[in-house]
Chain A
Amino acid sequence: MNMNLSALLGGSRYALEGALHGVAAGLFMITATIGLFQAYRLLTGTIQHPAQLEFGSVVNALLAFLTVLFGNRIYIFYRAQGGPRSYFMENSPQIHKIFFEFKEFVALFTLPLAVTAAFLFLAYRDQMLRSKGLRTIAAVLLALTFFYFLVAFGLGAAITKLRGL
């Protein structure tokens, strides 16, 4: 890693993987929040053009995938000898159990939820706007994606503050 990049990302051996996970999660936070707003619009019936939802929901699903993918990479470092997991298991195992184990699982929920939402928008297109049932289902999926993302993101940020890589 060159000097400038090192100064930007930090000195850790795992800085690049951590930064990629953080960037993906940061972008996912934006699209998941937009998704929550679109869920509200779906429920209130104020969306006129389904194409507004198709592209955004695909990006949302793609970012869910990338966040999980890069998360997998840094999980290796989290579990490594001398990594944060060892530290928590020695000093406060409950932090690993509650903060990390629960986080690592609920973070995975975002992928099927976001993919299913995107699939419904692409599969049903205009029909989505005519069917209150489909709109409600899609809104629930987007809201749940946001909820599970928020839980995982919040716990992830807390762990990073307690013991970074």
Chain B
Amino acid sequence: MRTTEKPTGIAVAALWAAALGVLALAGSHILADRSKSGEAWVHAWGKAWMPGAEGIGPYSGKETLALLTWLGSWILLHLALRRKNVSLTAGGVLFLVGVGLATALLWPPVTGRMVHLLQGGH
């Protein structure tokens, strides 16, 4: 019996979207830590829809931006890659780099250093 193999682009799109989601979380955290206006901007995303966002604080906006990036990029990447065969090795490595980078950026000493650099420090 002949079976139809699904393209690997579907898997790679899902992987990259997950990585982009966690990178958005790290990015929004650094942005919120950088300045009061950044914090207010990030918090506004949470307050726009999340119940209890006032109590949760800017974290609600960071979750929202991560969620939007994850699901939004998943849709776009899925549409772009669903009929293509993409290397799972390259896709997987890029995914791991993204997740690793997000983890590093969220580690408080690294976050602090990044915020310092973005504020013009040396």
Contacts and interface: CB of A to CB of B under 8 A. Distances in A.
A97 interface: yes
A123 B106 contact: no
Interface in B59-89: 59-60, 62-63, 66, 70, 88-89
Q: Size range of the interface on B? A: 35 or more
Nearest to B63: A108
B22 A101 contact: no
Interface in A139-163: 140-141, 144
Interface in B1-44: 3, 5-6, 8, 10-11, 14-15, 17-18, 21-22, 25-26, 29
Name the prevailing secondary structure of the B interface residues. Answer: helix
A72 interface: yes
Interface residues of A, number: 33
Interface of B: 3, 5-6, 8, 10-11, 14-15, 17-18, 21-22, 25-26, 29, 50, 52, 55-57, 59-60, 62-63, 66, 70, 88-89, 91-92, 96, 99, 102-103, 106-108
7 contacts: A75-B59, A76-B56, A97-B108, A102-B108, A105-B29, A123-B11, A144-B99
